[in-house]
């Protein structure tokens, strides 16, 4: 019995150390109000995007839910309006897997909304498939769609400055790599659609997010627009819905024990969106509501510039 108790004690200690040392995240303590401000949150019908949109609405912002699925996004808007007490929460259709849809969203937004103060590039996918234009799904949605959206809205962001662009990346950017010859020949950064390749594609797309923020900051220098990227924490959200059933089953026990809920996962996004005094850190990477170092590839200015130029060609900018 004593041996069993020792095993249990070690297990509990390990769980506490892992949870509080790796998975638990800090909270955004900013008290900034957003009355009169407008924010866009992509992928905000569920998960950390919805939690982020809810908090922005509670602070008085007009919040645009930029989502692909109309039914689910309208249901989310209803929930957020009910919980926040704000009627300034609206859905606008935006499918990041279609560059045509991104352009249509931007055109509609610019015609109907006079302000844009915060753009949160939150939406993300992990899994097989291709975008409408034939790009690998993770690269096309997680990077190219947000790249185009941000560029189409930059002028409005500049007009309403000081404003911010916040892009949800991931710690897994450290495992990413960019193979431009492969991208040129296959319209993707991986060569197959296996489970491993899908995870690798996700890591590659998150490296793109980090490099995009770095180059964007360089191009915005001297303007009133700042940008940040972040790791939200380890969260079990609908991002995992496209994983194979057996892999979802394997992850679920760890998710229930260790992973953050969507509210916890939204804290660093909110920090980058709201915290005062971050402007000198434009282009940098955050986690746990604090500045963090990025992987070596994420600090490569030449790589960031090349990705930007390739992305301009691919999106027709």
Residues designated catalytic: 202
Give the Cα separation of 21 and 23 in Å (integer).
6
Element (H, E) at 308: helix 301-315
**Rounded CA separation 219/312 (Å):** 14
In this structure, how many other beta carbons lie within 10 angstroms of the beta carbon of residue 133? 15
Counted residue by residue, the chain has a size of 317
Question: Which residues pair with residue 235 across a beta bridge?
Answer: 260
In 3D space, the residue among 292, 236, 241 whose CA is nearest the CA of residue 265 turns out to be 236
Structure tokens at 169: 């990346």
For 18, 164, 229, the CA distances from 271, given in Å and listed in that order, are 23, 12, 11
């Amino acid at each position: 019995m004593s041996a069993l108790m020792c095993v249990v004690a070690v297990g509990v200690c390990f769980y506490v150390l892992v949870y509080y040392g790796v998975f638990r995240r800090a909270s955004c303590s900013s008290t900034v109000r957003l009355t009169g401000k407008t924010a866009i949150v992509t992928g905000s019908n569920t998960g950390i995007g919805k939690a982020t949109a809810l908090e922005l609405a509670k602070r008085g912002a007009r919040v645009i839910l930029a989502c692909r699925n109309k039914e689910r996004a309208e249901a989310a808007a209803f929930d957020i309006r009910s919980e926040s007490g704000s009627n300034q929460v609206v859905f606008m259709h935006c499918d990041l897997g279609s560059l045509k849809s991104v352009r249509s969203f931007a055109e509609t937004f610019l015609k109907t909304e006079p302000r844009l103060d915060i753009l949160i590039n939150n939406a993300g996918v992990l899994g097989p498939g291709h975008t409408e234009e034939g790009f690998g799904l993770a690269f096309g949605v997680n990077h190219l769609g947000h790249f185009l959206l941000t560029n189409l809205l930059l002028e409005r962001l500049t007009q309403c400055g000081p404003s911010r662009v916040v892009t949800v990346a991931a710690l897994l950017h450290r495992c990413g790599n960019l193979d431009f010859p492969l991208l040129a020949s296959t319209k993707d950064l991986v060569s197959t659609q296996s489970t491993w390749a899908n995870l690798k594609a996700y890591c590659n797309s998150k490296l793109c997010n980090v490099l995009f923020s770095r180059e964007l900051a360089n191009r915005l220098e001297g303007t009133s627009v700042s940008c940040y990227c972040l790791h939200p924490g380890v969260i079990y959200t609908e991002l995992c819905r496209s994983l194979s059933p057996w892999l979802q089953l394997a992850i679920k026990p760890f998710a229930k024990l260790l992973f953050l809920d969507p509210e916890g996962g939204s804290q660093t996004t909110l920090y980058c969106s709201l915290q005062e005094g971050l402007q000198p850190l434009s282009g940098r990477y955050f986690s746990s509501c604090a500045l963090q170092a990025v992987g070596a590839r994420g600090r490569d200015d030449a790589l960031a510039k090349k990705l930007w130029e390739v992305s301009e060609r691919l999106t027709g900018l």
